[in-house]
Structure 1
Amino acid sequence: MGARKAATALGRLMPNIGGPSQSKRSLLSSVIHSRLLYGATIWSDRVTSIKKCTNLLQQTQRCAALRVARCYRTVSDMASLVLARMPPAQLVTVGRKKRADAKRLGTIIPRRDEIEEILHIWQALWESTHKSSWTRRPQIATKY
């Protein structure tokens, strides 16, 4: 997989301490996402239904997220994605597929609606996982 090689190369280019600025890290991460999600509208149904394929997507994306967020390799995939502000690739593929299907039917789903839906599902996924519970901040009631 070309995206996996690009993510590995990104890891070599960008050490956790020092290295390129955050904007350059985000730019290189977008290159990895472009390679990872190429043709997602075609293969998303198949890939998201197979656990092994979903794990490969997560591993590739985690490699990039660790470098963007400057995390150590012991940080879980969910926590690294949250810290890097990268929604999981399988959610992005589903969103792209829905937009493409709607476009084919003659309706348009605004990009904003797609992003809101992805964030809503990601939030539910984040709250239900036990992997990275230490990184979650408890809700604090304020008096505003």
Structure 2
Amino acid sequence: MSTAYGASYAALPTAAETASARARISSQCDDVQRAEQEIIGLEAQIAVLRNQIAARRNDIERIRDAIALDENMTAPVRLLPSEIVAAIVVLVAACYVRTLRTLSSINRVWGDITLDTPHAWSKIASRTAHSVDLLCLR
């Protein structure tokens, strides 16, 4: 090992050491290429799995929608006579005028009954006189 200007230099490798290092480099480059190819394959598998997961989630959503339709079809509230529904609409409208919109959107039957119950719509509630004036202008 020679020293020049205070620096230390390693001896040059022998031909055998150079050949060995080049062989290791070549082998390691091959390892890197194989690993990169494996990663590409794994990423492709992940993409396939993500598509399968998305498809299954869509299946679940369709099944849940079907369950909701069946539950709505068999809901006990559908068995109430129109007169009872109208009474409910009138009672609720007396306390909470804004809920008429909600009641009319429960389903088509409730909507028809709510809209066909004049007593529920006979009261206009307003917090200010200005609101009543605006309603009268329309």
Determine which structure has the larger helix proportion and give its number: 2
The two structures have a TM-score, normalised by structure 1, of 0.25
Q: Which has the larger radius of gyration?
A: 2
The two structures have a TM-score, normalised by structure 2, of 0.25
